[in-house]
Amino acid sequence: MARFGRWAAYEAVSAAIHQPRALRALATFIRNRPAMRSRLHIVAARDDVAGVFQRPLAFSNSAQRPNLVAGEFAIGMASGPRHACERALLLRQLPPPDDFAMRSAAESRRLVQALRAGPARRFDLIGDYMAPIAWQAMGGAFGAALPSLPAGDPLFVHLRNIGAHLIVGGVATEAVQRRARESAAELTAWTHAHLPALQAAWGLQGATHRDAVARNAVGMMWVGHPATVQSGALLMQELLVRPKVLRALADAVGQCTDPWRDAPLRDRLGQHVLELLRFRPPFPILQREVPRDVRYGADGAARAPAGVPLTVLTIGALFDPAAHAGSPPDTYDPDRVFVHPHDRLMIFGGGRRHCIAGEHVVEMLVSALIGLLQLPGVTWADPWWRRLCYDGPSIASARLAFRD
């Protein structure tokens, strides 16, 4: 019975991640009934969510620690001196967003040219397109230490398995946990095989820095790669239900001689990327550990007892009417004005523990989107009941088709 309960919880969480409308309805219910915050240990209003992000000592990222099967990483550390040092090291190795834009654009261009020149008019958005683009773009953070990997390389699946465990590790079945551990071992071994080159690229050579470089290289790969790949699938899923928006963007791209290098076009598409992901965010639900009893909420009326994790509905904050100065939250508007401008990147978290590479991910997704918009009549390759193949909380396959 315990095994069945764990399986049911795993399936429920995996499904909930991909039900943004249901999550938005739950968030509205919580916002309209503030007393439910304490009863359900959940926050959904913009100010409540932002308040949690701004208090990392009271609401700790260490809730992620049990799910880090590939070893310690900054994302699961409690705020403090050690986390600050690890974050500083990661920031030091991260090139500017323009570097990610250039690298992802080059790979998108190569893949689109190959698709249009080849005989097939169907391809997998995940394995054939997004995975190679994200990998090539991330190479800038590792110098020349990362080799090129072809579409379908097993390492991409290992990265996805480890990344998925961050979301569902707490409820994953033994089989899913075992698979994640095996993938973590494969990634760790692969990283150690390339460790001398990685240390040289980071300027941290010698035995003293060996563990730090290995730990952070592994973490950057298993966090950054699957998150970017999944975001690409989610934004395309949302875009394909908006044919007028799709046609308008395809026309705009088609009017440019070199759309990957057109700065105004990239800026415009960046706005669409953020709006598409607002409707279908990669991390609609987060959890925070509560080390000690604490009051929270903009009104200070909610209470979180020590030891009970707090659930953060980021999708609720993104659709809170109080967060928007212009269009209603349910309206698709790439020119959306937020009351707090930094909320535009809340899909990647907020506060002092926000994702360090939010702008970088947007640049990668813009490059990928430009390529997809150049495929004539791009659409789903399969009927609705088998368009997307899920593996737990992750989209494992999403087949697209285009015309000659």
CB 221 within 8 A of CB 187: yes
Residue 241 has pLDDT above 60, yes or no: yes
| Mean pLDDT of the region 84-89 | 94
pLDDT (tens digit, 9 = 90+) per residue, 47-82?
A: 999 999 999 999 999 888 888 999 999 999 999 999
pTM of the model: 0.96
* Window from 128-142, 158-172, 262-276 with minimum mean pLDDT: 158-172
Q: Which pLDDT belongs to residue 298?
A: 87
User: Exposed, middle or buried, 320 (CB in 10 Å: 0-12/13-18/19+)?
Assistant: buried
* Window from 66-75, 323-332, 363-372 with minimum mean pLDDT: 66-75
Nearest to 238 by CA among 280, 284, 274: 280
Average pLDDT, the chain: 95
- Give the Cα separation of 170 and 310 in Å (integer): 14
Residue 4 has pLDDT above 90, yes or no: no
Residue 2 has pLDDT above 80, yes or no: no
Q: How confident is the model at residue 102 (pLDDT cuts 50, 70, 90)?
A: very high
* Window from 141-155, 274-288, 379-393 with minimum mean pLDDT: 141-155
Structural domains of the chain, ranges and CATH numbers in brackets: 2-401 (1.10.630.10)
Residue 402 has pLDDT above 50, yes or no: yes
Residue 287 has pLDDT above 80, yes or no: yes
User: Exposed, middle or buried, 106 (CB in 10 Å: 0-12/13-18/19+)?
Assistant: middle
Q: Encode 30-54: b = buried (16+ Cβ within 10 Å), e = exposed.
A: bbeebebbbeebbbbbbbbbbbbbe
- Give the Cα separation of 282 and 280 in Å (integer): 7
3-state secondary structure 320-376: CHHHECCCCCCCCCCCCCECCHHHHHHHHCCHHHCCCCHHHHHHHHHHHHHHHHCCC
Residue 261, token pair as written in the block: 């290098």
- CA 351 to the chain's CA centroid: 17
Phi, psi of 369 (to 5 degrees): -65, -40
- Give the Cα separation of 186 and 396 in Å (integer): 19
* Percent of the chain with pLDDT strictly greater than 90: 88
DSSP H or E segment with residue 138: helix 131-138
Residue 248, token pair as written in the block: 């308008």
Q: Which amino acid is at 68?
A: L
Q: Which pLDDT belongs to residue 65?
A: 83
Q: Which pLDDT belongs to residue 1?
A: 47
Residue 139 has pLDDT above 50, yes or no: yes
